[in-house]
Structure 1
Amino acid sequence: MSLQADAARAASTRKQLLTWFTGSMGQQTMRMLMNERPLSPQQLRVAEQVRKAQSQGAYTPGEVAREQQELTATAEQLAEIARVGTQAADLYLAETSMCDLIEQAGPTMPDQPLREDDPLSPYGLVFFQQPLADIGVHALPIEAMLWYPLPPQRPSSIEEDGICILPWVSTKAVADATGQREIVGTFPKLYCAGSVIWPYGNKWGQMLKGAPPHEGANPEHYQQLLAAFWALSRQDNIAASELGPAVKKGEAKRFANAGITKPEQPVRIVRLNRRQASDSQGKGPTDSEVNWKHQWWVNGYWRNTYYRSIDDHRQQFIPGHWKGPEDKPVLGGERVTAIKAPRRDTDA
């Protein structure tokens, strides 16, 4: 599928994702991400009996039922926050070459505390034209990531301000990995694979309420890849952005009816800025001044750079490039061995 078609599809996919946070499905989704499944009436009775036996006379009837009600209220509140975050998100599409760079540079990006201005926009949803590799038990490719700030009106269990990250994988891939074939056609094509809370001022954050990673996923991996996408997208020598196709009037009306904040806003496509990246990979200003005898390849790397505009240091990616004079031999190149036939003795 073409880049423009993928960009157009992203807006429609966002509308589908709202299903996850609407009504009873929203509560179920957040209960799942909290690793807290609702108890059946029979399970509730057994849990109350166990609690009573363990309390040694300090048991108050209905303790477990009240805890379940609190969990339900928390799940409903979190689902509403996620729904609003999805509606308000600016949409991005990372082009395939950009996805390649994120996968190469992301895992080596040094940890750094999260700033409020690190995300490209306060609310955002990025789709990856080429899904990013995940790590963990199932390691399902990451199709998209949603982020949004935590509002003041949130569950008391989340004390610090910060952002929430929701990674998305293919629902079909989940069905194939878990054997839950019934979810295909029942749920949207993308499946919410986890939830990560990242407080401002903290380095790689923590899972929601300290729950274990969903399906063996690694929450730090999500944060690192998303932080790399933000940082790389801001570097003019690496990334360039353009607007995708305009949203048709009929679609914009449907998006507005779904509560989407900016129904007519097109998707922003983020791709590698090949011209500037090529320029930045050329010889440095001192190459002609130093009497180097070889040229060699320098792998891309991250550098902690001071930015006067924010009076702080942030990670900047230095693309891979050739170093040294172009007319010199390549250091570390392949060695070619010439094999000659033995010289024939003509006097014999």
Structure 2
Amino acid sequence: MPQQTITARDLPTIRAELATWLADPGPLGGPAVWSQHLDSATAAQERQAAADWSVSLRAAQLTYANGDMTGLAASAGLALPAYRLHPEDLPAPHGLIMWENPVISPEAGGDVMSSIAVSWAVHGGGVHIRVWTKREEWFQWMARPEPGMGAMSQDEIRVMRARYPQALVSTCSSYLPFGKVPGWLLSDYQDTTDMSIAELENRARFVVQSEMAERALVTSWLLMGQVLVREEEVQAPKGAAKHIRRLDPNLLTSVRYVTLRHRSIHAERTGQVDGAGVTYRHRWIVSGHWRNHWYPSQQRTRPIWIANHMKGPEGAPILDPDKLVNLLRR
């Protein structure tokens, strides 16, 4: 059965309930659940993380990316060149972005959970992020049988549902430093010589998931700063707004809804001659790509996404993409 899509109007309620749960000191609250079955030092860190993220989520700017924007963020993220993140790249110091479609590595198959949202908080010299997935998808992934182990029982699934009552479940966390190239895949060196094969496979799954989420997040930030993105404000339904006010009257109920401006194909009206005396007699489609653009006000370059567009003199015949052959030169 396909899972129901979370809409922009759902996001304020999800944020309010999640922030409330993370601040709940009870046995089924976020601090207790995040710290369960961990050693004392790690448990203390997770309880503090739950409290910190509860505060951060309450201050978060909510952003929802529609399907087209999600697809572009995922594909352009894979092509993103080495880039040093800066504070001005972020739309807000605290935020929660949700993608309409899941973000997942194309090579991962069914071995990695997809990411549906990322929360972030600026602290010190970088950004702390937390990756989230849909609760039902996480249940299905956790309940699947592992080698040498049977599937989870219905009683165990009921216990998990009681421990994780919210629509989103955190799957991993990470940190993006300012002024440094994110070290995707090798962000933190870890000695794996004593790990079992199962531990290595599990670590690889989460590294891939974290990398894809970070790439899509940074790309979303960069795209939101370009004119090819259109924004509007979406409000939570009236019933949800009343529920949110009961949880916390200070929480906003609006969402920043971002979509793409559809300008993927345009005709070049000038410039029939390109380079040193080269005259083009056809038009062709240039694939989307990143290009470094110099910003004088910031005294630095910043990658901008160039969408698919038509190149060549207006009125010339269009080359059939299916009949083109790429020439490799060195």
Aligned to 1:92: 63
The structure carrying a bigger strand percent of its residues is 2
1:174 counterpart = 2:138:
yes
1:306 counterpart = 2:294:
yes
- Once residues 260 and 183 of structure 2 are traced to their aligned partners in structure 1, the CA distance between those partners, rounded to angstroms, is 28
Aligned to 2:193: none
Counterparts in 2 of 1:224-243, with a 5 A limit?
Answer: 224-236=215-227, 238-243=228-233
1:27 counterpart = 2:31:
yes
How far residue 321 of structure 1 moved from its aligned partner, in angstroms, is 0.8
Larger mean Cα displacement after TM superposition, 191-200 or 126-135: 126-135
1:130 aligned partner, one-letter code: N
Q: Secondary structure of 1:241's match?
A: strand
Q: Secondary structure of 1:244's match?
A: strand
User: Which of 180, 189, 200 does residue 202 from structure 1 map onto?
Assistant: 180
Q: Secondary structure of 1:121's match?
A: coil
Partner deviation per Cα, 1:132-185 (whole Å, 9 max, x = no partner): 2246573222211111112xxxxxxxxx62111111111211221221533346
Task: Give the gaps of 5 or more residues in structure 1.
Answer: 40-67, 151-159, 336-348
From the superposition, tell whether residues 298 and 17 of structure 1 become closer, same or farther in structure 2 (CA, over 3 Å): same
1:286 counterpart = 2:271:
yes
- Once residues 69 and 271 of structure 2 are traced to their aligned partners in structure 1, the CA distance between those partners, rounded to angstroms, is 30
Aligned residues: 284
User: Which of 118, 121, 143 does residue 145 from structure 1 map onto?
Assistant: 118
Aligned to 2:13: 12
User: Which of 72, 89, 95 does residue 124 from structure 1 map onto?
Assistant: 95
- Once residues 188 and 247 of structure 2 are traced to their aligned partners in structure 1, the CA distance between those partners, rounded to angstroms, is 30
From the superposition, tell whether residues 164 and 91 of structure 1 become closer, same or farther in structure 2 (CA, over 3 Å): same
Aligned to 2:52: 81
2:223 aligned partner, one-letter code: L
User: Which of 244, 256, 264 does residue 255 from structure 1 map onto?
Assistant: 244
- Once residues 256 and 213 of structure 1 are traced to their aligned partners in structure 2, the CA distance between those partners, rounded to angstroms, is 40
User: Which of 155, 163, 167 does residue 189 from structure 1 map onto?
Assistant: 167
Query: Normalised by the size of structure 1, how large is the TM-score?
Result: 0.71
Q: Note if contact 1:21-1:29 (Cα within 8 Å) is conserved in structure 2.
A: no
Q: Note if contact 1:304-1:315 (Cα within 8 Å) is conserved in structure 2.
A: yes
Q: Secondary structure of 1:10's match?
A: helix
Larger mean Cα displacement after TM superposition, 176-185 or 220-229: 176-185
How far residue 109 of structure 1 moved from its aligned partner, in angstroms, is 0.8
From the superposition, tell whether residues 294 and 215 of structure 1 become closer, same or farther in structure 2 (CA, over 3 Å): closer
Q: Secondary structure of 1:195's match?
A: strand
2:267 aligned partner, one-letter code: G
Query: Normalised by the size of structure 2, how large is the TM-score?
Result: 0.75
2:137 aligned partner, one-letter code: A
Aligned to 1:220: 211
Partner deviation per Cα, 1:265-301 (whole Å, 9 max, x = no partner): 4111100112xx257x331642488742111111010
Larger mean Cα displacement after TM superposition, 76-85 or 314-323: 76-85
Larger relative contact order (C-alpha < 8 A, sep ≥ 6)? 2
Q: Secondary structure of 1:201's match?
A: coil
Task: Give the gaps of 5 or more residues in structure 2.
Answer: 1-5, 144-151, 191-201, 324-330
Q: Secondary structure of 1:130's match?
A: strand
- Once residues 245 and 51 of structure 2 are traced to their aligned partners in structure 1, the CA distance between those partners, rounded to angstroms, is 17
How far residue 8 of structure 1 moved from its aligned partner, in angstroms, is 1.4
Q: Secondary structure of 1:283's match?
A: coil
Q: Secondary structure of 1:267's match?
A: strand
Q: Secondary structure of 1:86's match?
A: helix
- Once residues 188 and 51 of structure 2 are traced to their aligned partners in structure 1, the CA distance between those partners, rounded to angstroms, is 17
1:244 counterpart = 2:234:
yes
From the superposition, tell whether residues 173 and 334 of structure 1 become closer, same or farther in structure 2 (CA, over 3 Å): closer
User: Which of 304, 315, 318 does residue 303 from structure 2 map onto?
Assistant: 315
From the superposition, tell whether residues 300 and 334 of structure 1 become closer, same or farther in structure 2 (CA, over 3 Å): closer
